[in-house]
Structure 1
Amino acid sequence: MRQIDYYLTVVSPWTYLVGNRAVEIAAAHGAQLRYKPVDPSALFARTGGLMLNERHESRRAYRLQELRRQSKKSGLPFNIQPAFFPTNPAPAAYAIIAAQEAGGGDIHALVQSLTRACWAEDKNVAEDEVITAALKDAGFNPGLAMSGMLTGAEIYGRNLEDAVAAGVFGFPFFVVDGTEHFWGQDRMDDLNLYLAGEL
């Protein structure tokens, strides 16, 4: 079975705009999709990137235009300037990791719920009540928000090292079978074509 490592952070609008496409593409090609949340500030520090507030004004202005265009193309509800951004992505990341390790629910629904909470529902994804509600709605034990913290924190750190070793430098980032790289929600068609043997 082919493996797609999906490096993400719930506070990336581009991760939210992936929508259902990653899981649909993986299913269409019989591939396993593995979610790997990563600390964005740590990744950027290790790979030469800049956090949003450190970027030149021209880059920030272009980002807003591109978000407006891409969100409209996606058809997803989207708030270009959400009430709780930036916020700490670690608690949500720990919950995703703990849920994926525990199993028994819909991990894709959980990721979508948390990214949607940030980018469409004006909720703070660093708050326990937002995380526990997302876990419950996706069929997981909401207690994972607390009981999974140690596991989540440990794997979160490993995911950063895996990301750097794999050549990941932004979000969303997909690595197929450890070799082929796709960066950005606008590369989903290329990911699909690659898995189909057409690229």
Structure 2
Amino acid sequence: MAHIDYYFATISPYTYLAGTRLEEIAAKHGATITYKPLDVVALFGRTGGVPPKDRHISRQEYRAQELTRQSKKLDMPFNLMPAHWPTNMAPSSYAFIAAQNAGGGDLGTLAHGITRACWAEEKDVADDAVIRSCLEAAGFDPNLADSGLLEGAETYARNLDEAVEAGAFGAPFYVVDDGARFWGQDRLDDLDLHLAGKL
């Protein structure tokens, strides 16, 4: 049975555009997933990248075109300039880590719910009420938003270190236990083929 380490950021637009396709692919192939939310800006800094706002204007313009194209291609609502971006990723990431540790809900739905709140619903995913709502909608206890903060902080930092060690440099990033790496929601079809032994 294959295992996938899923490195993602709760404010990443491409993580939002991934939807729940990873979970569908994993279920199809009997693969398991460990979710590893991280600080993607810090990941950029440690792997030779720069935050979107600091990129050359040609890269910023291309990013805007590509995000718009991808959202239309996927038929997903999308706001290129959301009201609450960038925002602090830590509170939603800590809550996600607490939810993964607690169990009882749907982690794929939670990841998508948090990113959708930012990129399609004009909500601040650093806000406690928004996080609680996302937890509850995914079948988790909303009080997880305020629990395990120390463990969340430690895991969040460790996820960043593990991402660098695994060769990840952006989000979403998928690392299969056989060493295969896939960067971006537009590589999910390739991940599917890989798990099927065709790629």
The TM-score bracket by the shorter chain reads over 0.9
Q: Residue in 1 aligned with 2:146? A: 146
The structural deviation recorded for 1:178 is 5.2
Q: Does 2:174 match 1:168?
A: no
Q: Residue in 2 aligned with 1:32? A: 32
Encode CA deviations 1:73-102: one digit per residue, 9 max, x unaligned: 111111111110111111111111110011
Matched residue SS, 2:53:
helix
> Structure 2: how far apart are the matches of 1:78 and 1:132?
22
Matched residue SS, 1:36:
strand
Q: Residue in 1 aligned with 2:183? A: 183
* Equivalent residue letter for 1:12: S
Matched residue SS, 1:14:
helix
Encode CA deviations 1:129-181: one digit per residue, 9 max, x unaligned: 00011111111111111112112111001101100100000011000005100
Summarize the Cα distance change of 1:137–1:128 in structure 2 as closer, same or farther, 3 Å threshold.
same
Q: Residue in 2 aligned with 1:75? A: 75
The structural deviation recorded for 1:41 is 1.8
Q: What TM-score does the superposition give when structure 1 sets the normalisation length?
A: 0.98
* Equivalent residue letter for 2:153: A
> Structure 1: how far apart are the matches of 2:51 and 2:9?
13
Encode CA deviations 1:59-118: one digit per residue, 9 max, x unaligned: 000000001110001111111111101111111111111100110111111111101000
> Structure 1: how far apart are the matches of 2:185 and 2:97?
21
> Structure 2: how far apart are the matches of 1:148 and 1:139?
18
Q: How many residues align?
A: 199
Q: Residue in 2 aligned with 1:137? A: 137
Q: Residue in 2 aligned with 1:155? A: 155
Q: Does 2:64 match 1:60?
A: no
**Contact 1:7–1:171, Cα closer than 8 Å, also in 2:** yes
Q: Residue in 2 aligned with 1:97? A: 97
> Structure 2: how far apart are the matches of 1:129 and 1:90?
15
Residue segments in structure 2 that go unaligned for 5+ positions in a row:
none
Alignment of 1:86-125 (within 5 A): 86-125=86-125
Q: Does 2:22 match 1:16?
A: no
Q: What TM-score does the superposition give when structure 2 sets the normalisation length?
A: 0.98
Residue segments in structure 1 that go unaligned for 5+ positions in a row:
none
Aligned sequence identity (%): 61
Structure 1 runs, 4 residues or longer, greater than 4 Å off? none
**Contact 2:20–2:109, Cα closer than 8 Å, also in 1:** no
